[in-house]
Chain A
């Protein structure tokens, strides 16, 4: 008994966030059906894509000078991890999770939460996810769905936080996600723009979501970088540029941004590879489909993790 208890608490501390990411490996694949729409955008949608890109500028973003990796709010990581985990547990689609993270990023653009106020970060995460679910999910949600684990917020409290998020975002809740662009870029940048490629790209988007903030990078840029990253060749900056030059219809796409986004994605994926090979699961490396590191699925730790979540089947 003592042993079992000890080992489970050890895992709990040690796995931190990384195992949650491994869980995601499975649902990345399972939940692709929720992207039905994105797989059948054809090249004839040039006009639509241009319109979409032009509409991105409506949404809030950080000034270029302000934005850098270092400026990501520390609380953001915890919040993103919790959102992804809970999104999966509640069976929401991937777009819901992504939308919730966008709300989170937009919120942090205007307000900060003091260090140490973990409860506030959790409350914010809940509000972002419940709002995203209201926008994206077809089934009805109640706030009690979010009452589990360590923090038990009253429904009233969550609703107040929802209102704070809505007011802070000035009720501008429409989100353009990178997923809307994937099949378009897949067909433009690859002759074999298959669903496999798109799946890998979705993997790259989620594996880098902790370091790539939606207010620093436009969805079209993230989408484009993820498609480039999911092709298995290594691209130099020069090569990225030449690839992008084929997208003449998208003048608004910033090559520099795509390059830097691409590098971050590759970097995150590499971190991951190292983490797996050295079996150092405590580092928050994020697995991605693109690294084709499928052996990690058989990592015994996943099974142990499951023991801690009896409701996770």
Chain B
């Protein structure tokens, strides 16, 4: 971690860090850590994702490069917004600053299941699903496959300007595919198994954007029932073991796949090698409608079963799904998925994300050992405490970072100020294209998959 470069003793915090007041840690995963912070020069909260150090000698992690480069190219209301990229020069770690989203589908579903014991309002389900599909349609038409859609990666904005708006997040596994309809060779672990498409479970190596649509189908069902649709037990082994239990769970609900309905099934590795296991078993009649408690003739059920189509070639696309009848009937989907303004509906106060305030931006040190547990602390409270405590020593020890005014430093990706390697670049050519790029990006929005308007949206 901090390598002590800079000789210590510097009380100067790096310029980029001065923009933020750390609130606390809100997440942790294989990728690294996520912190909640506030910006000093503008309203609103920021989620800061710190990438784990890459292995010594590997240089900048390819995962980080891919995620950042994809996020740099995409601008859409239903995709999380990357606000800034910071390089911490002391240890060369990377910090991504995103607009903060208070909620995610995992927590929303859990709140309904465990606290309220109440189904999610149909308007909310439909709005969440529509926005998820809207964001996904944008990604797919820009040839990006997410590959790891699951409830915890689908964020929803808390109170404020964008209240109740869905944001697809976590592009760590996302890939851009080279050409439309040209499948991508799988080169690693993809998609948490509960949301993993059958073609992947059966060992398919080439796959398409249809894997994301399968995951959306699973999430749709989970929004309705508050339970994961296919809760298989994962076989933990490397690399990519055969997940029979997951397939078994799927077959029990959807019935056995057949080569008549799914012609390329016979080509999938596990279909052939694990014949006994897979093809030998008999499964009862399909019972999806019994599990999701939907009328088989309802548009909702029709859409769901088209998302859970076995053959990826026949599976409904995001663009087609947005046109589905389900979204044209009452209640119509809306921009604020969380607030139902129909009479008699009460507004649900979803819990705020728990914040671990006993942490610093390294995610290691304990700053306030005497502080009581953070549960129930609003971010504001914790934030005040944080700002008084200052920053950990490792952060203070950095030198050579040019100081940047607060406004200038929010200009995203200002390489000249962030690079901190001016000695390599005596001429230090200024970045000239900042404004031009802004224009280009705005143009892209129109060029890309544009926000289709909400279907016959009414004032809500």
Q: How many residues of B contact A (CB 8 A)?
A: 41
Chain B residues with Cβ below 8 Å from A180 are 178-179
Is A303 an interface residue when CB atoms closer than 8 A count as contact? no
Does A11 sit at the interface, judged by CB under 8 A?
A: no
Contact A173 B69 (CB under 8 A): yes
Q: Is the CB of A111 within 8 A of B427?
A: yes
Contact with A along B361-381 (1 / 0, CB 8 A): 000000000000000000000
Q: Are A171 and B69 in touch, CB under 8 angstroms?
A: yes
Residues of A contacting B432 in the complex (Cβ-Cβ under 8 angstroms) = 110
Q: Is the CB of A111 within 8 A of B87?
A: no
Contact of B447 among A37, A54, A112, A141 (CB under 8 A): A54
Check B404 for interface membership: any CB of A closer than 8 A: no
Q: Select which of A60, A110, A158 is within 8 A of B415 by beta carbon.
A: A110
Q: Does the CB pair B92–A160 fall under 8 Å?
A: yes
- Closest Cβ of chain A to B420, distance in Å, is 9
B60 within 8 A of partner (CB): yes
Q: Is the CB of A110 within 8 A of B429?
A: yes
User: In chain B, residues 158-187, which have Cβ atoms closer than 8 Å to a Cβ of chain A?
Assistant: 176, 178-180, 182, 185, 187
B357 at the interface (CB under 8 A from A): no
Q: Does A163 sit within 8 A of B, measured CB to CB? A: yes
B425 touches A166 (CB 8 A): no
Tell yes or no: A253 within 8 A of B by CB: no
Q: Does A144 contact B (CB under 8 A)?
A: yes
A113 partner, pick from B178, B419, B425, beta carbons under 8 A:
B425
Q: Bound complex: CA of A173 vs CA of B431, how far in Å?
A: 17
Q: Do A167 and B415 touch across chains, with their CB atoms under 8 A apart? A: yes
- A211 contacts chain B at the CB level, 8 A cutoff: no
B179-A41 in contact (CB<8A) = yes
Contacts A163-B419, A171-B72; is A143 near B427 (CB within 8 Å)?
Answer: no
CA–CA, A164 and B424, complex, Å: 10
The 8 Å CB contact of B419, one of A114, A123, A141, A168, is: A168
CA distance A143 to B444 in the complex (A): 35
Q: In the complex, are the beta carbons of A160 and B421 less than 8 A apart? A: yes
Nearest-neighbour CB distance to chain B for A83, whole angstroms, equals 16
Residues of A within 8 A of B424 (CB): 113, 120, 123, 161, 164
- Residue A5, interface by CB 8 Å: no
Cβ-defined partner of B433 (8 Å) among A60, A158, A161: A60
B93 to chain A, nearest CB (A): 10
Is residue B437 contacting chain A, with contact meaning CB distance below 8 A? yes
Known contacts A166-B60, A167-B413; is A159 also within 8 Å of B429 by CB?
no
B426 at the interface (CB under 8 A from A): yes
Q: Note all chain A residues with C-beta closer than 8 A to B221.
A: none
B176 — nearest CB in chain A belongs to which residue?
Answer: A174
Residue contact A172 to B428, C-beta cutoff 8 Å: no
- Please indicate the chain A residues that have their CB under 8 angstroms from the CB of B66 in the complex: 135
The verdict on A170 contacting chain B, using a C-beta distance below 8 Å, is yes
Taken residue by residue from 191 to 229, chain A's Cβ proximity to chain B (1 for < 8 Å, 0 otherwise) reads as 000000000000000000000000000000000000000
Q: Given A58-B440, A155-B56, does the pair A170, B419 have CB atoms closer than 8 Å?
A: no
B73 touches A172 (CB 8 A): yes
Interface check B57, CB cutoff 8 A: yes
B437: A residues at CB distance < 8 A: 170
**B23 shortest CB reach to chain A, Å:** 26
> Is A166 touching B72 in the complex (CB atoms < 8 A)?
no
Task: Check if A20 is an interface residue, CB within 8 A of chain B.
Answer: no
- Per the bound structure, the CA–CA distance linking A140 and B178 in Å amounts to 20
B425 partner residues in chain A, CB cutoff 8 A: 111-113, 164
Taking CB atoms, residues of chain A closer than 8 Å to B444 are 58
Interface residues of A in 14-67 (CB under 8 A from B): 37, 41, 45, 48, 54, 57-58, 60
Kindly state whether residue B114 has any CB partner on chain A within 8 Å. no
B418 at the interface (CB under 8 A from A): yes
Considering only residues 130-178 of chain A, those with a C-beta below 8 Å from chain B are 130-131, 134-135, 138, 140-144, 155-156, 158-164, 166-174
Q: Determine if B72 and A162 form an interchain contact, defined as CB atoms under 8 angstroms apart.
A: no
Q: Are A170 and B72 in contact (CB under 8 A)?
A: yes
Least CB distance from A35 to B in Å reads: 11
CA gap between A123 and B437 in the complex, in Å = 28
| Closest chain A residue to B68, Cβ basis | A171
Interface residues of B in 32-62 (CB under 8 A from A): 56-60, 62
B85 within 8 A of A: yes
B284 to chain A, nearest CB (A): 42
Whether the pair B413, A171 counts as a contact (CB closer than 8 A) is yes
- Known contacts A155-B57, A162-B60; A57/B427 CB under 8 A: no
Q: Are B87 and A163 in contact (CB under 8 A)?
A: yes
Please determine whether A163 and B426 come into contact, CB atoms closer than 8 angstroms: no
CA distance A166 to B68 in the complex (A): 10
Contacts A111-B428, A167-B418; A158 near B59 (Cβ below 8 A): yes
Tell whether, in the assembled complex, residue A110 and residue B413 are in contact, meaning their CB atoms are under 8 Å apart: no
In the complex, how many angstroms separate the beta carbon of A199 from the nearest chain B beta carbon? 20
B116 at the A/B interface (Cβ < 8 Å)?
A: no
Assess whether B291 is interfacial by the CB under 8 Å rule.
Answer: no
Q: Mark A226-246, 1 if CB is under 8 A from B, else 0.
A: 000000000000000000000
* Interface: B235 (CB within 8 A): no
User: Is there contact, CB below 8 Å, between B419 and A167?
Assistant: yes
In the assembled complex, the Cα of A171 lies from the Cα of B71 at a distance in Å of: 9
Complex Cα–Cα for A123 and B423 (A):
14
Encode contact with A along B7-42: 1 for CB under 8 Å, 0 otherwise: 000000000000000000000000000000000000
A142-B57, A166-B60, A172-B69 known; A48+B179 contact, CB < 8 A: yes
Q: Is the CB of B59 within 8 A of A130?
A: yes
Find B427's partner among A112, A160, A163 (CB 8 Å cutoff).
A112
A-B contact pairs, 14 of them (CB 8 A): A58-B440, A60-B433, A110-B432, A111-B425, A111-B427, A111-B429, A142-B57, A160-B421, A161-B421, A169-B415, A170-B431, A170-B437, A171-B72, A180-B178
Additional 19 contacts, C-beta under 8 A, given A45-B179, A54-B447, A144-B57: A37-B178, A58-B440, A110-B415, A110-B429, A111-B425, A111-B427, A112-B425, A112-B429, A114-B427, A120-B424, A134-B59, A155-B56, A156-B92, A162-B60, A164-B424, A168-B415, A170-B72, A171-B69, A180-B178
Nearest first, the 4 closest Cβ-Cβ pairs linking A and B are A167-B415, A134-B62, A173-B69, A170-B413
